[in-house]
């Protein structure tokens, strides 16, 4: 680094130090590909508006309890070198910085942050599956696709690709969770393979009673050999458990046999705990939450609808929403109409509105655009994981805005008596399933536009309030 550049970076560093509250307010410094990341004792002291005007700064925001200052690729390395040196924070890694930031969070914030970290790693796969699922849903509605062997074949391959990604999502979650909590990622993959083993009865088929389930008896306990398709919360728990077991056995097993025995014990103990403890708890939680939500919507009228559509996307965060398919199928058999589908659909589009609200608040940030735009597109096809875990859960207030927008959309669904005649698709492709009676198609569009607008507006209001408070 030549003297002229160094002098410029020293001026930038000194100015930043002043604007963040001085050296005494700095707990840690690191950088990623484009941003200087600083953990402060008190974020309220930092003057974000003044920092935006500092030489070479392209943007600034607070996320994950870190002050993140955008400089750009390459440049940030040089700025960090000088800033860290002058603030006596040299040689701190990004992992060290995250650990420092986590210490400032309360237990709930840490859980949400850990959950977000798990899904950030597998976001590209989720996003690919989301867009492929949406494309498959749209193409499947055209007759000319079925009349063309080539187009039908391509559509079929798209459907297989998207279904495969989501079908093995528990495996990906177990891998990412194991990695996030310090275990060897390959052991998370192994545990995910056990959860989805073809030797187990398919979870969806078992829920519908279309397959015989084998039961083992171990120490007097009956253990049903059912797979964990859609068991995201079980996968999360098993990923964490596998990581802890791996760390434990790596410390306790003698080095001379560690390479062989440690992964063996981790996998064996983990598999036993999966079927005896973790799996039943996860399934019980899924069943309890689902039955409670259905009871609420059927007995509490408009309030029940609003609560269901308001919290439904929180259920998506846990992965428990996959069991709704069996309930929707039963609703169609019993009543001929599926009231859950439009409720879930407005909850989804409201989260998309929240993504757009966050995009407007951060419209100058190209990185935000790169994340928000494809996430919103996937929402239009009924897939919210990219939006939830890439944006809304990470920054909290968009999630709140989306939930409130979903609740308002749920009220519209109740008062217009919206329902679906099928299940399996929502939002834009979902209009094909809407019950056309009582102008159902029109009210379907209206309900979604209202939920979208409310999620959008409330997120902007919450975001502006956060900026004022900061």
Fill in the DSSP letter of residue 181.
T
- CA distances 199 to 203, 214, 277, Å, are 12, 10, 19
Sign of CA dihedral 68, 73, 77, 79: negative
Q: Which of 32, 193, 403, 454 is catalytic?
A: 32
CA separation for the pair 84, 53 (Å, rounded): 20
Residue with tokens 């269901």: 308
Cα 312 vs. chain centroid, distance in angstroms?
A: 14
CA separation for the pair 131, 381 (Å, rounded): 7
Question: Which contacts (CB < 8 Å, 24+ apart) does range 304-308 have?
Answer: 305/343, 305/410, 305/411, 305/413, 305/414, 306/407, 306/408, 306/410, 306/411, 306/414, 307/407, 307/410, 308/340, 308/343, 308/410
Sign of CA dihedral 383, 389, 391, 396: positive
32 is catalytic: yes
At 216, which helix (H) or strand (E)?
A: strand 215-218
At 223, which helix (H) or strand (E)?
A: strand 221-224
CA separation for the pair 280, 294 (Å, rounded): 21
As given in the structure block, the two tokens for residue 451 are 């939920």
Exposed / middle / buried, residue 125 (Cβ in 10 Å: 0-12, 13-18, 19+)? middle
CA separation for the pair 378, 59 (Å, rounded): 27
Tell me the catalytic residues.
32
């Amino acid at each position: 680094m030549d003297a002229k550049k160094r002098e410029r970076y020293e001026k930038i560093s000194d100015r930043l130090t002043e604007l963040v509250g001085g050296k005494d307010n700095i707990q840690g410094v690191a950088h990623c590909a484009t941003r200087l990341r600083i953990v402060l004792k008190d974020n309220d002291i930092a003057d974000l508006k003044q920092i935006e005007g500092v030489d070479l700064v392209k943007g600034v925001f607070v996320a994950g309890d870190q002050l993140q200052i955008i400089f750009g690729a390459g440049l940030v390395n040089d700025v960090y070198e000088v800033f860290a040196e002058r603030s006596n924070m040299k040689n701190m890694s990004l992992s060290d910085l995250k650990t420092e930031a986590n210490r400032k969070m309360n237990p709930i914030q840490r859980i949400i942050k850990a959950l977000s970290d798990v899904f950030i790693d597998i976001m590209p796969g989720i996003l690919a599956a989301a867009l492929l699922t949406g494309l498959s849903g749209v193409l499947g509605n055209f007759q000319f696709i079925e009349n063309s062997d080539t187009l039908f074949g391509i559509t079929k391959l798209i459907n297989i690709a998207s279904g495969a990604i989501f079908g093995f999502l528990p495996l990906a979650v177990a891998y990412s969770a194991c990695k996030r909590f310090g275990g060897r990622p390959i052991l998370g993959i192994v545990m995910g393979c056990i959860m989805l083993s073809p030797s187990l009865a398919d979870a969806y088929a078992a829920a519908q009673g279309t397959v015989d389930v084998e039961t083992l008896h171990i120490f007097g306990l009956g253990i049903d050999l059912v797979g964990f398709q859609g068991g995201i919360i079980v996968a999360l728990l098993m990923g964490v458990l596998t990581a802890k077991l791996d760390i434990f056995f790596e410390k306790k097993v003698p080095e001379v046999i560690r390479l062989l025995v440690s992964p063996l014990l981790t996998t064996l103990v983990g598999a036993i705990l999966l079927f005896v403890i973790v799996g039943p708890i996860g399934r019980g939680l899924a069943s309890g939450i689902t039955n409670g939500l259905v009871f609420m919507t059927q007995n509490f009228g408009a309030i029940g609808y609003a609560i269901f559509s308001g919290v439904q996307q929180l259920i998506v965060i846990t992965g428990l929403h996959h069991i709704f398919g069996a309930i929707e199928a039963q609703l169609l058999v019993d009543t001929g109409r599926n009231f859950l589908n439009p409720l879930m659909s407005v909850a989804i589009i409201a989260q998309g509105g929240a993504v757009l609200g966050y995009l407007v608040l951060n419209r100058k940030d190209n990185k935000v655009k790169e994340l928000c735009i494809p996430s919103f597109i996937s929402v239009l096809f009924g897939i919210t994981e990219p939006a939830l875990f890439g944006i809304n859960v990470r920054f909290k207030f968009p999630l709140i805005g989306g939930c409130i927008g979903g609740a308002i959309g749920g009220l519209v669904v109740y008062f217009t008596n919206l329902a679906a005649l099928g299940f399996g698709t929502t939002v834009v492709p979902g209009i094909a399933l809407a019950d056309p009676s009582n102008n159902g198609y029109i009210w379907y569009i209206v309900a979604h536009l209202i939920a979208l607008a409310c999620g959008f507006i409330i997120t902007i209001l919450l975001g502006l309030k956060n900026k004022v408070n900061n």
